Amino acid sequence: MFRGLSISFSFSRAPSLSSPLFLHRQPSAVPRRPLIRRKSKPFPSNSTQVRCFTPTPRMGETWKPKPTIPVIEKATKPELFRALESALGSSFSADPISPPPNPLIIVISGPSGVGKDAVIGKLRESRGENLHFVVTATSRPMRPGEVHGKDYYFVSKEEFLDMKDRNELLEYALVYGDYKGIPKSQIREFMGRGCDIVLRVDIQGAHTLRKKLKDSAVFIFLVAESEAKLVERLIDRKTESKEDLLVRIATAREEVRHVKSFDYVVVNSDGKLDEAVKLVESIIDAEKARVRRKCAAI
């Protein structure tokens, strides 16, 4: 009995967890073991090896091996071509990287006697069906050796004015007392076929076309190597009187002052017609290779 009372008495004296004695106990004198964080060791590096891990396919997925590219030295061109397509996951396109160039309008002008007709004739021979020379309508009389429909469309002044009133001309002018104009129908027809268009006009006509076409056409100015050579050519033509020659020479001097309004200047020297034609052709090719290409709408 005495023993039981002593046990119950000792339990009743023991402090509970919520008692002040338990809450304000002093910390233990034994130091705690410090917490050490260990860094993960990197994979051993080796410059000649690459670790590759293939992901485990998920449930329902089928594992597909990646396409392998054969050794270039041993593979044929078709094998390597197909392997590259398979590795990229798409076929190589055979479509042209650069779109076909737009048809150009080339305006050729210059003083009388510089050889505009000779240069254009050579261009028509070399370019063939890819280039169309627009035959100008004129009210002047036909000269010896000229062909109607090839060199000009020879019409009367009344017929020409009717074409003007019907708005059939892109440009027209009164030159040395005669009318000259460019029919729109030819330009539309042959540009629709993809042909480049060549227009032969005087300085006045080129100025009018520049206002209408702005930078959508290529303007080329033909000149002789010197004023003296130009006068010699006018004399050699034997188609003008002395008074007409004086007018043409004065006009040529004035026209040369407007050279800066053109895009290119080509010198047509005596005996070097082929060089002038090649230079004009190189201008056409360069314009067709432009990133920002000209596009004219008539």
- pLDDT for 171-199, tens place per residue? 998 887 899 999 999 999 999 999 999 99
| 143 is known as an active-site residue | yes
What are the start-end ranges of the E strands in the chain?
A: 105-109, 131-133, 136-138, 152-154, 169-175, 178-183, 196-200, 218-223, 264-267
Residue 247 lies inside a defined structural domain of this protein: yes
Judge whether residue 1 has pLDDT over 50.
Answer: no
Of all residues in the chain, what percent carry a pLDDT higher than 90? 51
Mean pLDDT calculated for residue range 109-116: 93
Nearest C-alpha neighbor of 217 from the set 195, 203, 199? 199
| Mean per-residue pLDDT of the chain | 82
Judge whether residue 17 has pLDDT over 60.
Answer: no
Distance of CA 47 to the CA centre of its chain: 46
Residue 171 lies inside a defined structural domain of this protein: no
∠ Cα 261 262 266 (to 5°): 140
How many structural domains compose the chain? 1
Residue 22 lies inside a defined structural domain of this protein: no
Residue 210 lies inside a defined structural domain of this protein: yes
Residue 125's pLDDT band (cuts 50, 70, 90) = very high
Q: Which of 3, 37, 124, 248 is catalytic?
A: 248
Residue 251 lies inside a defined structural domain of this protein: yes
CATH number at residue 268: 3.40.50.300
Q: HSE-up of 227 (CA within 13 Å, CB side)?
A: 10
**pLDDT recorded at residue 105:** 96
Distance CA 276, CA 153 (A): 27
Residue 151, Cβ neighbours under 10 Å: how many? Answer: 18
Taking CA atoms, 153 is separated from 140, 150, 168, 252, in Å, by: 10, 7, 14, 25
Find out whether 109 and 200 touch, Cβ atoms under 8 Å.
yes
Lowest mean pLDDT across 9-18, 252-261, 278-287: 9-18
For residue 112, the enclosing domain spans 105-134+194-288
Greater pLDDT, 205 or 49: 205
Residue 2 lies inside a defined structural domain of this protein: no
Residue 260 lies inside a defined structural domain of this protein: yes
The per-residue pLDDT for range 48-99, each reduced to its tens digit, is 444 444 555 566 666 555 556 666 677 899 989 999 999 899 999 998 887 7
> Which tokens belong to 177?
């007392």
- pTM over 0.85, yes/no: no
| 248 is known as an active-site residue | yes
| 33 is known as an active-site residue | no
108 forms bridges with which residues in the sheet?
Answer: 200, 220
Lowest mean pLDDT across 6-15, 32-41, 173-182: 6-15
Q: Which of 143, 188, 253, 293 is catalytic?
A: 143
Q: Which of 193, 237, 253, 293 is catalytic?
A: 237
Residue 52 lies inside a defined structural domain of this protein: no
Distance CA 195, CA 172 (A): 23
